[in-house]
Structures are given as C-alpha cells and as structure tokens.
Amino acid sequence: MKIVHICPFFHPVIGGMERLVYETAKNQIALGHDVSVFTSDLSRRSRIDIKEEIIDGIKIRRFNTLFKIGEFASFFPSVFGAINKSGADIFHYYSYRHPLNFGVFFSNKPSILTALWPQYPKGLRNKVVDMSIPIFDWMFAKTILNRFDSIIALSETEASWLHKLGAKKTKVIPCGLNEEAYQKTGKIISNQIFSIGRIHPSKGFNQIVKIAPKFPNLNFIIAGKGKKPVNSPTNVKFIGQITDKEKTKYMRSADIYLNTSLHESFGIVVAEAMACGCAILSSDAGALPETLNGSGILYMSGNIESLTTQLNRLVYDEQLKKQIRIKARAQAEEYRWSKVIKQIEKLYKSLQ
C-alpha cells in the first residue's frame, strides 16, 4: 500500500504530533508499505533547507511555506497539487483546523484525519486565532470533517467533541508506545519530581514555579526545548531538550512524574511515564483522565491549590505511589505500538 501522511511539521521538529506521525510511518514500513510524509519546510523558528530526504525509510517532502498561523499551523498550498499527483492509495492527515485539511478535496482516494483535538483554553493562542476558531468551525467543520472517510480520535472524550462539531465517522485509536518505553523502574531518587514538554504556556510549567517554594525538600526537573522562565526557585531546574534515552532514564528514576498541561488530546509523555512505572500526578485537562484510566492522581487543571494538595498527598505516601506504579504499567500495555498499528492497519484496509 502506498501511504502519504500530511502534517504541519515533521522531523527535525520535536513534538507529540511529529512523534505520532514518525512512529506510525515507521511501523507501517515494517509491515511492507511504501510511506511518505508531506509537510512544511519550517521548523518552529526557521526554514529547513533540505526539501527531500529519506529517514528510517520514510520519504519526506517539504513544501514551501508562505506563512505561519500562530504557533502550530502553516500554509503551504503547493502540497495540494502534490496530493493530486501522488498516486497514493491512502492519505492520512493530521491536525483539524489546519489549512492542509482542504487537501481532502484534491483527491478521491481514501482519506483519514487524526484530529488531535485542538481545543486549547482561550489565551494560549493569539487573540486573532482565538477569534477565528468559532468562525472556522461554523463555516467549515461539517463539510471538512465529513469529507474524510474516517476521523481518528485519540480518546472517547475527543470523539464526543468531534460529534458535537458534526463528525459522523470517528474511530478511537490511542497513541502508541515503543517497546523501549516499557523499561522497568530503575533506582528511584527520593523527592525527585520530573516533567517534560515544550517550554510553552500550554504545558503549564509556570504552576511548578509557583508551588516549588512550598516544597523546599523536593527537586523539580523540567526538560524541554524553549525559553525557561526567569527567577525560578532554586529547587526548579530546567535542563533543556534531552534525548529519548535520557528521558527514559529520568522517568525510571523519578519519585513522581508531574504533568501540568492545560490541554492534551492524549498525553503521549504521560503514557510513556506510565510504561516506565512512574507514580503520576497529572492535571485533568483534555483526555488525560481517560489516558490514565485510574492509574494516576489527578488535580484540577490550572488550579494551584488543587495541585499543591494532591502533590502533598502523593509525595509522602509510599504505599499510594507503589499502587500507582503497578496500575500505570498495566494500563500502558494498551498503548504498545504492536497493538495500535494493527488497529490503524485494519482501518486502512476497511477503506480500500
């Protein structure tokens, strides 16, 4: 099968969506498929000079981007002609409300959209984008969503949101995790709290900065690319971007994995922490309660008092942490790529 994935950003850009596309493509190649990725020629901050290359068997084509729309979207209309001429058997799009969604009108071949539930709280995007979202949904949601042959939601929570927009053909398939993520917990470092993600307001790391002085005996380690806040407490350390191997090492040794996101369509790093057997404290934003499915402690998203209470509860209860670690590893079994890729493959074949 000749498959084309179409997404706003891809390697070397690092993020949840980019990781999802990469792992899906890599697993499809292992099944014998011919897989390409059509994407913009942008990183988060600059242009990528290499327009075509092959990485791990994935054929990458980067198209000239005319302009960016906020932090997460870009406009590269030449991709539409490439879609029409590609000869692919199936097209798989990523990110609802992105201009590339209109590519579905340039081919009659089966097309799938992984929507990635872009329903961030107001204020995390710029004002123009926040104002344009309800207008876009009112004008285009039903037409675009129902032009796709199927829409993948990463959770039942996201599927319900899509149904409210008028989507009729949804399929719930979670993100997948590599076998490397399923490493047994290493030697736990007492009072070490680990978090990871892009240093962006949507990840809520400012909440950690606010509560850290209340927990002087805890060491908060935050990994991720971006500009760190100024005047952080001495027990909060921003270590910058790290490798997957380093991420796994930190997760395996963390006393607690803390997720402060203000929105997640699934929460891939939370799932990775589950696979590592972390004791997890997470906000209840987006699909995170469903991803955890009782295998972690939740606090009210963005609520400092709730975060403080639940962290205080978890950090001193060794028995509770032990129970969470056991439940987390069990729940993470549902997210192995060996299981997830079979669901995607079955969906693809049903559309042929």
pLDDT, tens digit (0-9, with 9 covering 90-100), for 79-95: 999 999 999 999 999 99
- DSSP class of residue 299? E
Tell me the C-alpha distance between 266 and 264, whole Å: 5
> pLDDT tens-digit profile of 257-271?
999 999 999 999 999
> pLDDT tens-digit profile of 156-166?
999 999 999 99
Residue 261 and residue 116 share a domain: no
Residue 159 and residue 25 share a domain: yes
Tell me the C-alpha distance between 207 and 220, whole Å: 12
Residue 186 and residue 62 share a domain: no
Residue 278 and residue 201 share a domain: yes
Residue 87 and residue 148 share a domain: yes
Nearest to 140 by CA among 102, 93, 106, 84: 102
pTM above 0.85, yes or no: yes
What is the extent of the structural domain holding 319? 179-334
Tell me the C-alpha distance between 227 and 254, whole Å: 23
Is the pLDDT score of 74 beyond 90?
no
Which of 98-102, 121-125, 185-189, 285-289 is least confident? 121-125
Residue 315 and residue 186 share a domain: yes
Residue 209 and residue 167 share a domain: no
Residue 194 and residue 161 share a domain: no
Count of structural domains within the chain: 2
Residue 44 confidence class, pLDDT cut points 50, 70, 90: confident
* CATH code of the domain containing 199: 3.40.50.2000
Residue 33 and residue 138 share a domain: yes
Residue 308 and residue 201 share a domain: yes
Distances (CA, A) of 303 to 66, 139, 143, 229: 39, 34, 37, 19
Residue 193 and residue 303 share a domain: yes
Tell me the C-alpha distance between 130 and 308, whole Å: 30
Residue 168 and residue 33 share a domain: yes
- DSSP class of residue 229? P
